Amino acid sequence: MSTSPARKILWAYVVLYIVILYFPVVLLPIFSFNDSATPTFPLKGFTFKWYEGLIGNETMLKAARNSLIVGSVASVGSTILGICAARAITRYRFRGKSAASGLIMAPLFLPEIIIAISLLVVLLGIGANLSLTTVMLGHLLICLPYSVTVLVSGFEGFDPSLEEAAQDLGAKPLRVLRLVTLPILAPAILSSLLVAFTISLDEFILAFFLSGSEPTLPVYIWGQLRFAAKLPNVLALGSLLIAASLILLTTAEIMRRRAERRLAGR
Amino acid sequence: MRSEATRGWLVISAPLLYALLLLIGPIIVILANSFWTQDYLTIDRTFTLDNYRAALGEPIYRDLLFRSLKVSAIVSVVTVILAYPVAYFISFHGGRAKGLWIFIITVPFWTGYLLRILSWKVILGYKGVLNSALLGLGVISEPLETLLYSLNAVIITLAHSWAAFAILPIYVSLEKLDRTLLEAAADLGQGPIRQFLRVTLPLTLPGVIAALLIVMIPTVGDYVTPKLVGGKDGVMIANAIQVQFGKASNWPLGAALAVTTMIIVSMSAALMVLALQLFRRLMK
């Protein structure tokens, strides 16, 4: 097929689209190295000082630690629950399955502010103190649909006869899980962990409402936005966060592809 | 051996229970709250519709609701129109790199939600990137003041935030499209444009509707974008809801605003799905 003019226009459009899509993401890191207190062009010169300003900032480090804790717990929790859901969805046929899975996926289709305030009202209503735990509970809820999506696509190609073969050879259920099921599904599981962690790391609304006096990184950044003088430091911190997300997501994608290939190869 | 259904329910029970306890339960509580009244710190649990009267009757809330719906409708339509060609390109010309394309397009969506909005603030500001670029190019002689802190700024920022979400459902429906139908249309002498309008577009309409909904629903309730780039004219319903749960401390009114938003969004979603079904029936 020859390359028609229409196809060239389409190609140019897609390139432009992607440039605009990435422009705001790339812009902040550029200004975070700029030797000026305001993010405006022309650039004034290269500096690391905004990054150096982050070192030894106790409140920020505390927020970073909070984010790590919340992200770890939320991603492990959502992956464990996600494994159950994905297993039920891909392996069993039962009445009400689509309703059940629809309910688990529902947080994806609700405005986040509504999830946040309803959780807030219930938690305060039962007398719970807002803390990292309450953020974890909320993050687990909104990470779950993403974990389920990643895991279902990883589980779909899994051939149940492999497990049956192990059983026939006399392996106990736990041994089958450890020696057959988990190794095959490992990449999908790892990918779910990484995706859920990235979502939790980036999430703002739920953390904003539920974190009380223990901010996560996005909540800390939000607080700093009130001070114009802190903006360059915020940009530096934000750039680090974007870099972390990019690394996590790329790793997750590589894992997901490995899982696909592994299942397709058998 | 237990039946397959029992085992299925058993396996899915943990995540299901979690969603019931932390999502459905709280939403029911919010619903209950919206029929109550708050008197300083005590909640009066007598049934009342006053909160809904305020939510729908008081001009400020009615206007905010209407504006939020308008913004999310514009954003979803703009996003879907801009996203369709990209989804089309990946599906038809992506070759072996389809997965990579999708990855490249979805990555910005996952990274730095707060920071992307901040970035638009930097781009659209009075001394911002766009103004200085336009000045430099000589397109304008004075910086435009209306870029930031306006409804347009909210629309631009939201449309950018949700771009990837719009592409996915359209892409999926394009992938499902039976390509032999296009060959048949070509054999019958239909040109590329008529092929697209009479085969591709109608058959991928479910994906388009899904994309519209998946963008519309979260954008109605966006809190950060209006707060950071909207200014006075860009305030949306989520900001009003937050105020009721924060400073104003009127939970029942906030709950009624939240429930009203949910109902209106669900009704618009249902209308769109109905319209799609009607369209399909007419096509047959």
Q: What is the pLDDT of residues B177-213, one digit of tens each?
A: 888 888 888 888 888 888 888 888 888 998 999 999 9
Q: Which residues of B121-156 are buried (b: 16+ CB within 10 A; e: fewer)?
A: bbbbbeebbbbbeeeeeeeeeeeeeebbbbbbbbbb
The residue of chain B with its CA nearest to that of A140 is B18
The residue of chain A with its CA nearest to that of B215 is A109
Looking at residue B284, its pLDDT comes to 67
User: What number of residues does chain B have?
Assistant: 284
Is the Cβ–Cβ distance between B218 and B162 less than 8 Å? yes
Q: What angle do CA A76, A82, A83 make, to 5 degrees?
A: 95
More confident residue, B249 or A116: A116
Compute CA distances B89 → B79, B95, B98, whole Å.
16, 10, 10
Classify A92 as helix, strand or coil.
Answer: coil
Q: What angle do CA B260, B264, B270 make, to 5 degrees?
A: 145
Structure tokens at A204: 């703002």
Structure tokens at A148: 């389920």
CB contact under 8 A, B118 and A225: yes
CB contact under 8 A, B127 and A40: yes
A222 Ramachandran zone, left/alpha/beta (phi>0; psi -120 to 50)? alpha
Residues 6 or more apart whose Cβ sits within 8 Å of residue A21: B105, B108, B160, B163, B164
Question: Is the pLDDT score of A56 beyond 90?
Answer: no
Question: Is the pLDDT score of B6 beyond 50?
Answer: yes
Judged by CB atoms within 8 Å, which residues 202-241 of A form the interface with B?
A: 202-205, 209, 218, 221-222, 225, 234, 238, 241
Q: Which residues of B touch A100 (CB under 8 A)?
A: 9, 12, 16
Residues 6 or more apart whose Cβ sits within 8 Å of residue A150: A82, A188, A191, A192, A195, A252, A256
More confident residue, B248 or B69: B69
Give percent of chain A above pLDDT 70: 97
Q: Which residues of A touch B25 (CB under 8 A)?
A: 122
Name the minimum distance, in Å, from the CA of B282 to any CA of chain A.
28
CB contact under 8 A, B12 and A112: no
- The band of B4, judged by pLDDT with boundaries at 50, 70 and 90, is confident
The residue of chain B with its CA nearest to that of A78 is B15
- The band of B134, judged by pLDDT with boundaries at 50, 70 and 90, is confident
Q: Where are the domains of chain B?
A: 51-283
- The band of A3, judged by pLDDT with boundaries at 50, 70 and 90, is low
CB contact under 8 A, B129 and A40: yes
Residue A45 resides in a domain? no
Question: Is the pLDDT score of A161 beyond 90?
Answer: no
Structure tokens at B234: 């860009």
Residue A173 resides in a domain? yes
Residue A149 resides in a domain? yes
Write out the DSSP string of B98-122. HHHHHHHHHHHHHS-HHHHHHHHHH
Q: Which of A21, A89, A133, A144 to mutate to test the interface with B (most CBs of B within 10 A)?
A: A21
In Å, how far from its chain's centre is CA B92? 26
Query: Into which CATH architecture does domain B51-283 fall?
Result: Orthogonal Bundle (1.10)
Tens digits of residue pLDDT in A226-255 = 888 888 888 999 999 889 889 998 998 888
Instruction: Look up the domain containing A117 and give its range.
Output: 58-265
Looking at residue B71, its pLDDT comes to 94
Most confident listed range (A76-80, A185-189, B89-93)? A76-80
The answer to whether A94 contacts chain B (CB < 8 Å) is yes
The residue of chain A with its CA nearest to that of B126 is A40
Tens digits of residue pLDDT in A170-205 = 888 888 888 888 888 888 899 899 999 999 999 999
Q: Which residues of B touch A91 (CB under 8 A)?
A: 8, 11
Residue A135 resides in a domain? yes
The answer to whether A264 contacts chain B (CB < 8 Å) is no
Closest by alpha carbon to A81, among A167, A141, A136? A141
E strands, A5-78, are: none
Is the Cβ–Cβ distance between B179 and A37 less than 8 Å? no
Question: Is the pLDDT score of B56 beyond 80?
Answer: yes
The answer to whether A146 contacts chain B (CB < 8 Å) is no
Q: Give the number of other Cβ atoms within 10 Å of residue A126's Cβ.
A: 8
The answer to whether A182 contacts chain B (CB < 8 Å) is no
Helices (H) and strands (E) in chain B, counts: 16, 2
CB contact under 8 A, B262 and A111: yes
Q: Which residue in this structure is represented by tokens 């405006």?
A: A40
Compute CA distances B186 → A5, B134, B200, B203, B278, whole Å.
19, 45, 12, 16, 27
Residue A146 resides in a domain? yes
CB contact under 8 A, A114 and B27: yes
- The band of A1, judged by pLDDT with boundaries at 50, 70 and 90, is very low
Total domains present in chain A: 1
Q: d(Cα B161, Cα B120) in Å, to the nearest integer?
A: 10
Q: Give the number of other Cβ atoms within 10 Å of residue B16's Cβ.
A: 22
Phi/psi at B42 (nearest 5 deg)?
Answer: -100, 145
- The band of A209, judged by pLDDT with boundaries at 50, 70 and 90, is very high
Tens digits of residue pLDDT in B70-90 = 999 999 999 999 999 999 999
Question: Is the pLDDT score of A60 beyond 80?
Answer: yes
Structure tokens at B212: 């519209």
User: What number of residues does chain A have?
Assistant: 266
Question: Is the pLDDT score of A34 beyond 60?
Answer: yes
Q: Which residues of B touch A95 (CB under 8 A)?
A: 5
Name the minimum distance, in Å, from the CA of A56 to any CA of chain B.
22
Strands B37-39 and B42-44: antiparallel
Q: Which residue in this structure is represented by tokens 């103190």?
A: A129
Please report, for the domain that includes residue A124, its CATH number: 1.10.3720.10
Question: Is the pLDDT score of B105 beyond 80?
Answer: yes
Q: Which residues of B touch A94 (CB under 8 A)?
A: 4-5, 8-9
Residue A32 resides in a domain? no
Q: Which residues of B touch A120 (CB under 8 A)?
A: 245
